[in-house]
Amino acid sequence: MRQPLIAGNWKMNGSSQSISELLDGVISGLESKAEVLVCPPAIYIQQVRDILRGTGVKWGLQNVAAETKGAYTGETSPLMAKDLGCEYAIIGHSERRTLYKETDQDVAAKFCCLVDQGITPVLCVGESLEERQRGDTMKVVAAQIDCVIEKAGIERLSDFVIAYEPVWAIGTGLTATPEQAQEVHAAIRGLLSRTSEEVAQKTRILYGGSMKAANAAELVAQPDVDGGLIGGASLVAEDFKAICHAAG
């Protein structure tokens, strides 16, 4: 059985004051069978760690360097993330791919560096509206995943998470229907099974894109949807908690 994972991607939002309030709200009365993770801006990781230590809620990065140290001005090392107790890091978010021109190769390099440091990558994949309308959803998603599998090799695939985030659903209020999400998630699992059935069965595949309390339960009820990567709704304690509760 795959334990559901509900992850909050706060993106570039928050202040030290608002983060304390948000986390106090999330912790209080949280009861979920899901693993719960928050990914604040890197500058707040230490504050978040100090608040969350011992609560069971985990913390991670939104992005990471593909190197562990050296002359990479402005970057965050997986080694430093590990030092501050991060168990996960998001990589390949569509905002990074689009706004910062990250390629599949860049994402694959980050994936390998994370795994080598013992941090679990949350690999984001997903198609644009245009690509969906052209019928290219699985072609795009498969290329994003295949590049990582090829570079990482089977030995680095024992612990990672995929987040299927259709670009047209991110921050738009448009959510994929449970059927649309399930179709892509099942196809992703099928893709993984070509490399290893064991990897396919144990890898969690999250849905992301305008997930909220009102639609979380029916999305997570799909057999191949193992949780969610939440943007906007993760910034409101009660909304985020409601999604965690909807996941079990």
Residues that bind ligand 13P (CB under 6 A): 9, 93, 165, 170-171, 208-211, 229-233
Cα of 151 vs its chain's centroid, Å: 20
Which lies closer to ligand 13P via its Cβ, residue 229 or residue 247? 229
Residue among 140, 115, 145, 142 nearest 129 (CA):
140
The answer to whether 165 is a known catalytic residue is yes
Which lies closer to ligand 13P via its Cβ, residue 78 or residue 228? 228
The answer to whether 93 is a known catalytic residue is yes
From the CB of 195, what's the least distance to ligand 13P, in Å?
Answer: 25
Instruction: Return the number of other C-beta atoms located less than 10 Å from residue 198's C-beta.
Output: 13
Give the residues across from 37 on adjacent strands. 7, 58
Which lies closer to ligand 13P via its Cβ, residue 148 or residue 230? 230
Residue nearest to ligand 13P (CB): 231
Pairing mode, strands 161-164 and 227-230: unpaired
Residue among 4, 12, 38, 3 nearest 234 (CA):
38
What Cα–Cα distance (Å) separates residue 31 from each residue in 6, 57, 211, 229?
Answer: 12, 11, 19, 18
From the CB of 153, what's the least distance to ligand 13P, in Å?
Answer: 27
From the CB of 173, what's the least distance to ligand 13P, in Å?
Answer: 8
Residue among 39, 34, 94, 33 nearest 62 (CA):
39
From the CB of 50, what's the least distance to ligand 13P, in Å?
Answer: 24
From the CB of 229, what's the least distance to ligand 13P, in Å?
Answer: 4
**Cβ atoms of 158 and 111 closer than 8 Å:** no
- Give me the catalytic one of 95, 102, 165, 245: 165
CA angle in degrees (0–180, nearest 5) for 131-136-139: 125
Backbone angles phi and psi of 50, in degrees to 5: -65, -35
First to last CA, the chain: 13
Which lies closer to ligand 13P via its Cβ, residue 165 or residue 194? 165
- Give me the catalytic one of 35, 93, 127, 245: 93
Which lies closer to ligand 13P via its Cβ, residue 19 or residue 230? 230
Q: Which residues are catalytic?
A: 93, 165
